Structure 1
């Protein structure tokens, strides 16, 4: 067992870029939404650098790219509604589970740790994606970016999770792929562990100074 888990009783995982590579499906929905507005497609490579702050921010970044400047509120709302519709039709057919994830979740659950999911993805899309990989039953609580009034990097979702299970933050671990995960975990008083293969706006996650870094979640167990 990785030493970061010593005395840890609850582990919160990020979803996109940590457990699953969802960018192929996100990019299809982004580009379909831009196309409805007569704007050029962004493409998967660009979308990969835009993920991490929720779907509204994703579409704001896409529109800023497509029209060469920040969108007004009306356009952003229209584009976001289109994105939710397109993504909701098919949130997972191109999404894949990262290597080592299933082994990690199975082992942590077998050891009696409480596993939770804290993502900035809208809540409605969480369960279908987890279910298609058969890992939905691993998590005792899931929070989306719209579950509370705040989302990562605000520590509120993590503090909510800790309080829900009556655990002190010092007995909790945040696992993610981006600076937002590390910042939220640190602010909440959680230990932090990061993976380098996800989405961090093109920046090395090591620069965010997580408490630990692993190349695969299989290294946790």
Structure 2
């Protein structure tokens, strides 16, 4: 194991969070008397942060374009309601993927720097990490609102490399989506993808990662 730094996506990589995200979305839709959406739809919308996910849901149930929702008052009405419901749901039905905890501990023994780089907002990221007792497992946590930009912008990865003085050749990104692949490539580091997460309904092989790993244990 030669990596000196590994950056991990959160949703669909470390933790399966889609069920509780769908719960919060549907709680919000019911609050306004709107139709609910399917779990499979929510799975496809995960990746760009909860705001963008909510935009997709509102467009779906309201027969509006995504751009109409993004610019309209409906989103501003729904955001605080969603925030309340997701704060309540966050951590209730999510679970670690197999081998995550053991693998992170092994990487620590190899003196590897570990980071989370997610588009999920900090308040939700912190809740998920604390719920699953992962808060102390990482040297750095970059959420979707840590920097002015988020993935696929490589700012979070580049910040970690600079912070730890690690060469790009010694760093790896582990994720589950085309967003993660693009982030790693823009940062100039290797990308490995897991096939079981949330890649907008597309197979991860389409992203042409450096490697597809069947489960977390293959990182070591």
- Post-superposition shift, 1:68? 1.2
- Post-superposition shift, 1:109? 0.9
- Post-superposition shift, 1:169? 2.3
Partners of 2:57 and 2:215 in 1: CA distance: 30
Superposed CA deviations along residues 62-85 of structure 1, whole A, max 9, x for unmatched, are 011111122243211222222111
- Residue 136 of structure 1 aligns to a residue whose secondary structure is coil
What is the number of equivalent residue pairs in this alignment?
Answer: 216
After superposition, the CA RMSD in angstroms is 1.2
Q: Within 5 Å, which residues of 2 pair with 1:65-104?
A: 65-70=60-65, 71=69, 72-104=71-103
Q: Within 5 Å, which residues of 2 pair with 1:183-202?
A: 183-202=182-201
CA contact 1:55–1:80 (8 Å) conserved in 2: no
Could you list the structure 1 runs, at least 4 aligned residues long, displaced by more than 6 angstroms after superposition. none
Q: Within 5 Å, which residues of 2 pair with 1:70-219?
A: 70=65, 71=69, 72-219=71-218
TM-score (norm 2): 0.94
- Post-superposition shift, 1:162? 1.4
Gapped regions of structure 1 (runs ≥ 5): none
- Post-superposition shift, 1:37? 2.2
- Post-superposition shift, 1:171? 1.9
> Which of 38, 44, 48 is equivalent to 2:39?
44
- Residue 175 of structure 1 aligns to a residue whose secondary structure is strand
Gapped regions of structure 2 (runs ≥ 5): none
Partners of 1:54 and 1:73 in 2: CA distance: 19
CA contact 1:196–1:215 (8 Å) conserved in 2: yes
